Amino acid sequence: MNEPPPIGVYVHWPYCARICPYCDFNVYKNKQIDAERWLHALKRDLKYWAAKTNERKLVSLYFGGGTPSLAPLDLVAGVIETCENLWGFEADPEITLEANPTDAEQARFQNFADAGVNRLSLGVQSLNDEALKFLGRDHDAAAARRAIEAAQSAFKHYTFDLIYALPDQSETDWERDLKDALSFQPPHLSLYQLTIEPDTAFEKAVARKAWTPPDEGLSADLFALTQEVTSASGLPAYETSNHAHDGEASKHNLLYWRYQDYIGVGPGAHGRITLNGKRVATETHRTPEDYLTAVEQHGHGAALVETLDQEAQLAERLSMGLRLKEGIPLYADDYFYTDDARANRLNELVRDGFLFLDCGTLRATPKGAVMLNSLISRLLT
Ligand SMILES: C[S@@+](CC[C@H](N)C(=O)[O-])C[C@H]1O[C@@H](n2cnc3c(N)ncnc32)[C@H](O)[C@@H]1O
C-alpha cells in the first residue's frame, strides 16, 4: 500500500507590535484580544479539516505571522494539544514558532519550548543598528544578539531571518553582516533580498525617490556573494533564500516547496490539500474579525475552497519546486509532457544552460536560479 502523503498545519497569528514599512503580509497592529475566542475558533477550524484528513499524522506545525510570539502562551499550547488530539504527530515532528527578538519576547522562549514548540524562527533582519532603524524594527542589534543566544539555549533547532540588498549596502557591508550572523553557527538561516512590495511604506518612499534600492547588477552580485560565503561556512542554500546544515532544512517549508499538503488556519492562511485524489486550494477570510465570525457561523474559516486543475497544479509545482536545490521530479509520464511545444521549450532551456534535467529530476542551474520567474513563464506559455 502507498504511504499517505505527508501533511502539516500552518497557523497564522496576524498581530504585530508595529507594522514594518516593507511588510505586505496579512498583519494588524496588536490590540487587546479575546484569547478564549481565538483558541476556540482555531480549534474549531482545525477540527473541520481534521475530519477530512486525520487518517494521516502531522509532520509539522508552524505558527507564523504576524508575530506569534506575542500570542498568549495558553493559545499556542492549546493549538499544539489540539493537533496532537486530532491528528497526532509523526515521529520527530517540527513545531515552529516565529518570534521577534525583543527582550520581552525572549523571556518567554523557554515557556514556548515547555509548551511543545521545538523550533524558533527569529525575525532578526539585521545585526546592524543603522539597518534596523531603516527597516523600522522594534529591536536593536544588541537585543538581536541576546535573542539569538536565548534561542540557542531554549531550542536545539532555531533559525533567523536577515534582509539584505538595502539601499547603499555595499558587498563589503553585507559580507561583514553575513559573517557576523554566521559566527553564531546557526543550524538554519533565511536570507532575503529586500523586495519593494505594493502598498507598503517602502513603495511610497521609493516612488517619491526618498531612496533607491540596489540595481539588478548589484543585487545579483549580493546574491552570488551570499551563496559563496554561506557555502564556505557549511551552510549552503537548499532553497533560493534558505540555508541549513544537513538535517536542519525546515520540514514545514519543504511541504510548500515540494508541493505537498498543508492545512492553513487563522486569518488569510492558505492551504493545499489532497482530498479524494483532488488537489484543493484553500484560503481563509483575511481580517481577524471576518475569520472569527466565519468559524463561529460555519465551523470553518475558509473563504475559498477550490479544486486545482492539472495546469494550475503544474504552474504551482514548478514555481515552488524549482526554488529547491534538489529540484522536482519530472518523469516521462508527467502531465508536463502532454504538450509537445512545452517539452520543446524545456529542451531549449536545458540546452541554453538555464535548467538541468537528469534521470527524471529537473533543477535550475545557477544561471537559471536567478531568473526563475521568467523561466517558469517561458515554460508555461
Ligand atoms: C512576516 S515576517 C514575520 C516574522 C516576524 N514577526 C518579524 O517581524 O520578524 C516573515 C519574514 O519575511 C521577511 N520579509 C517580509 N517582508 C519582506 C520584504 N519586503 N523583503 C524581504 N523580506 C521580507 C522578513 O525577513 C521576515 O522575517
Residue 294 near residue 303 (C-beta atoms within 8 A): yes
Residue 271, pLDDT score = 98
**Span 240-281, pLDDT tens digits:** 999 999 999 999 999 999 999 999 999 999 999 999 999 999
Ligand 1 atom nearest 27 alpha carbon: 1
| 33 and 146 inside one domain | yes
> What is the CB-side half-sphere exposure of residue 333 using CA atoms within 13 A?
0
Residue 30, pLDDT score = 83
For the segment 320-348, the average pLDDT, to the nearest whole number, is: 95
Q: Is residue 266 part of a domain?
A: no
Helix (H/G/I), strand (E/B), else coil: 172: helix
Q: Is residue 286 part of a domain?
A: no
Does 175 sit in the ligand 1 pocket, CB within 6 Å?
no
Q: Is the pLDDT of residue 13 over 80?
A: yes
Does 68 sit in the ligand 1 pocket, CB within 6 Å?
no
Domain at 355, CATH number: 1.10.10.920
| 232 and 167 inside one domain | yes
Q: Return the best residue to mutate from 135, 162, 192, 226 for the ligand 1 pocket (most ligand atoms within 8 A of CB).
A: 192
| 195 and 59 inside one domain | yes
Radius of gyration (C-alpha) of the chain in whole angstroms: 21
| 19 and 163 inside one domain | yes
Does 105 sit in the ligand 1 pocket, CB within 6 Å?
no
Per-residue pLDDT band for 5 (boundaries 50, 70, 90) equals confident
* Mean pLDDT score of the chain: 96
Residue 8 near residue 62 (C-beta atoms within 8 A): yes
Residues 6+ apart with CB under 8 A from 350: 356, 357
CA distance 188 to 190: 7
Residue whose C-alpha cell is 493559545: 75
CA atoms 87, 268, 325, 321: torsion sign: positive
Residue range(s) defining the domain that contains residue 149: 7-255
**Span 65-85, pLDDT tens digits:** 999 999 999 999 999 999 999
Q: Which three cell numbers stand for residue 284?
A: 481563509
The tally of domains found in the chain comes to 2
CA distance 232 to 229: 5
Residue 189, pLDDT score = 98
Cα(123) to ligand 1 centroid in Å equals 7
Q: Is residue 235 part of a domain?
A: yes
Q: Is the pLDDT of residue 3 over 80?
A: no
Q: What are phi and psi of 93, to 5 degrees?
A: -75, 160
**Span 140-171, pLDDT tens digits:** 999 999 999 999 999 999 999 999 999 999 99
Residue 118 near residue 95 (C-beta atoms within 8 A): yes
Boundary-marking domain end, from 187, 220, 255: 255
Boundary-marking domain end, from 218, 235, 255: 255
CA atoms 147, 178, 214, 222: torsion sign: negative
Residue nearest to atom 15 of ligand 1 (CA): 23
Q: Is 234 left (phi over 0), alpha (psi -120 to 50) or beta?
A: left
Neighbouring CB atoms inside 10 A of 202's CB total 23
Does 65 sit in the ligand 1 pocket, CB within 6 Å?
yes
Cα(35) to ligand 1 centroid in Å equals 25
Does 45 sit in the ligand 1 pocket, CB within 6 Å?
no
Residue 134, pLDDT score = 97
Residue 377, pLDDT score = 94
Q: Is the pLDDT of residue 1 over 60?
A: no
